[in-house]
Amino acid sequence: MRLSVLDQSPVAEGSTSAQALRNTIDLAQLADGLGYHRYWVAEHHGGGAVAGASPEALIGPIAAATERLRVGSGGVMLPHYSPLKVAETFSILAGLFPGRIDLGLGRASGTDPLTAHALQRDRSRVAPDDFPQQLAELLAYLEDTFPDEHPFGRLAALPGSPERPEPWLLGSSMQSALWAAELGMGYAFADFINAGGAHIAETYRDRFAAGERLGAPRQAVAAWAIAADSEAEAQRLASSSRMVFRLMRQGRLVPVPAPEKAMRFLASEGLDPLAPTGGRREILGTPETVRAGLETLADEYGAEEVIVVSIMHDHAARRRSYELIAEAFGLEGAAAGAAVGAGRA
């Protein structure tokens, strides 16, 4: 089983978004040394708890600062963009970092309705729901598969050719699984958004159409996980994200609070500060507990890869969590990576 990272660039209360972006580079360097397989950065707009609004702007610096990791988007929210522009951008990245760039694609807005409207160039009407057509056009640019008579055919001579990114479809619903299966694409399911997706992953595998992209299904599952030296400490660290998500559901976007503040807030809301909120699956505890939980999750989804995501107030604690998970799985370079990275905390 491969282990990877999804980073949303959390912004700690009392810090800045700029520091959050620098923390992303730092964590990527650590993950590279520890032996994680890939490092994806998310797209979320509107500020608040995360600074990762532009994965295409982060991927190049991350790839330049690392040596082995595959680096990509988790994901680009395609409805906001021109397929040609996305194809050109990721073609350039693939040309600069051959064999290391992933293009994870999503249908969601990654924000609230007002911000989604602000992202659109044409605000005179509601943006069309044409994701399948957008995706087909994007793949045609990347793979140079437009029909001979298509007017866009000449545009498939992309700037990073012959290198190209590896496309993935991201999702948390049955529809995304059906599209990924029909198109023969890799599929990454967001269990940290929808914890009941094992049957969706099974549908993806059952309906997968093998072809030139992939000869067999390629399934990853993204999981919320925090490892610490004790279960109590892991639960304490998780309280910060629980407060963030609680307020997000109320339409309030805030920086990631310190655990002590978060636990006081959750208690004031009549919630157990040490219990998951909103039905989210959390894999928390000692390294051994987290390893067992991630392995169980991978088996449940039939996934060959788990992508670990977490939001914490303390960057050093977040680094430590990824170190402990790498050590629990015996990733190649875990001990050496932890030693080298300690000086950058």
- Encode pLDDT of 10-62 as tens digits: 999 999 999 999 999 999 999 999 999 999 999 999 888 999 999 999 999 99
Query: pLDDT tens digit string along 308-344?
Result: 999 999 999 999 999 999 999 999 877 665 555 444 4
Q: Which of 186, 243, 178 is nearest to 207 (CA)?
A: 178
In the CATH scheme, what is the homologous superfamily, with its name and number, of domain 2-344? Luciferase-like domain (3.20.20.30)
Lowest mean pLDDT segment, chosen from 54-63, 125-134, 206-215, 328-337: 328-337
HSE of 27, CA atoms in CB hemisphere, 13 A:
33
Domain spans, the chain: 2-344
* pLDDT number for residue 288: 98
Q: Which of 242, 247, 234, 169 is nearest to 208 (CA)?
A: 169
Q: Residues 6 or more apart from 288 whose CB is under 8 A from it?
A: 328
Q: Of 275 and 118, which is predicted with more confidence?
A: 118
- Span of 60-69, 86-95, 103-112 with lowest mean pLDDT: 103-112
Note the pLDDT of residue 117.
86
Confidence at residue 344, expressed as pLDDT on a 0 to 100 scale: 44
d(CA 192, CA 210) in angstroms, rounded, equals 28
Indicate the SS3 state at residue 223: strand
pLDDT tens track for 82-95? 999 999 999 999 99
Do residues 308 and 223 make contact, with C-beta atoms less than 8 angstroms apart? yes
> 240-245 long-range CB contacts below 8 Å, 24 or more apart?
240/311, 240/312, 240/313, 241/310, 241/311, 241/312, 242/266, 242/271, 242/273, 242/276, 242/277, 244/48, 244/49, 244/311, 245/277, 245/278, 245/280
**What is the length of the chain?**
345
Beta-carbon contacts of residue 99 (< 8 Å; ≥ 6 apart): 163
- The winner for highest mean pLDDT among 61-70, 249-258, 272-281 is 61-70
Name the pairing type of β-strands 283-285 and 70-77: unpaired
Q: At how many degrees (to 10) do helices 174-183 and 198-207 cross?
A: 20
| End-to-end CA separation in angstroms for the chain | 28
Strand extents, DSSP E, the chain: 2-7, 38-41, 70-77, 101-106, 166-171, 186-190, 219-227, 283-285, 305-309
Angstrom distance (rounded) from CA 163 to CA 91: 7
Strand partners, 70: 38
Q: Smallest Cα–Cα separation from 71: which of 56, 86, 85?
A: 56
Supply the pTM of this predicted model: 0.93
> What pLDDT does residue 336 have?
61
